[in-house]
Every structure is written in structure tokens, then in C-alpha cells.
């Protein structure tokens, strides 16, 4: 699957708020022969992809992070299998407020 299709598939995931592509080294670093050699050797060309999760979702591998960070979009896509509902106090508070709004028959009109 192409990179753009993977990004679109990730963005369509209801748990995902935003993706940040931070792969690029900045400015003159790309002209540095050592940086170029590192990229060719490792495939690591920057800080990778950051996937910010919507409130109520968490990386369930033990980090407790509300985001996913991987070097490639392929790795990030595979990693989403480890994202589950979050039960931290912050997410519970946000979700309880959302349930109150969702339960309100006027909420549809309020949100428009």
C-alpha cells in the first residue's frame, strides 16, 4: 500500500485525531554527507510519524501515551493494533462531559 493510502487509512481511524510527519531533517543537514549516509544505511530520516489519539484512547503497550510515535508510516499503521480505550482520570473526565452533551437532545443543534 502506498504511503498516501496508509496515511488516509490512519486518518480514517476513529481513534486518530491527527498525524504529524516529522521525518525531514532540517535545512542544511540533508546536504551533510554523514546525514545522507545515515539515512541510506538506517532508513531513519528524521523524527518519524507522530499519531495523536483522540481523547479516550491510549497506547496499550505499557507507556500510557495518548499518541503513537514510529519511524515509518507502515510501523505506525501496524502499531495502531495496540491502541485501546483509556481509563485514565483525564480521559474519563473528558468522556463523561461528552456523554452529557451526546445525551442532550439539543446537543446536535448546539454543536452545529
Q: Specify whether the CB–CB gap between 59 and 67 falls below 8 A.
A: yes
Q: Report the pLDDT value the prediction gives residue 2, as an integer from 0 to 100.
A: 87
Coil vs helix vs strand at 4: helix
pLDDT at 55 over 80: yes
Q: Report the pLDDT value the prediction gives residue 107, as an integer from 0 to 100.
A: 40
- What is the end-to-end Cα distance of the chain in Å, rounded? 36
Q: Specify whether the CB–CB gap between 39 and 45 falls below 8 A.
A: yes
Return the domain boundaries, the chain.
3-86
Q: Specify whether the CB–CB gap between 48 and 20 falls below 8 A.
A: no
Amino acid at each position: 500500500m502506498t504511503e498516501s493510502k496508509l496515511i488516509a487509512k490512519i486518518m480514517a481511524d476513529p481513534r486518530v485525531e491527527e498525524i504529524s510527519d516529522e521525518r525531514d531533517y532540517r535545512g542544511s543537514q540533508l546536504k551533510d554527507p554523514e546525514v545522507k549516509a545515515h539515512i541510506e544505511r538506517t532508513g531513519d530520516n528524521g523524527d518519524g510519524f507522530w499519531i495523536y489519539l483522540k481523547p479516550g484512547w491510549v497506547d496499550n503497550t505499557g507507556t500510557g501515551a495518548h499518541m503513537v510515535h514510529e519511524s515509518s508510516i507502515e510501523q505506525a499503521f501496524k502499531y495502531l493494533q495496540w491502541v485501546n480505550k483509556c481509563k485514565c482520570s483525564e480521559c474519563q473526565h473528558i468522556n463523561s462531559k461528552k456523554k452529557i452533551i451526546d445525551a442532550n437532545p439539543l446537543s446536535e443543534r448546539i454543536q452545529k
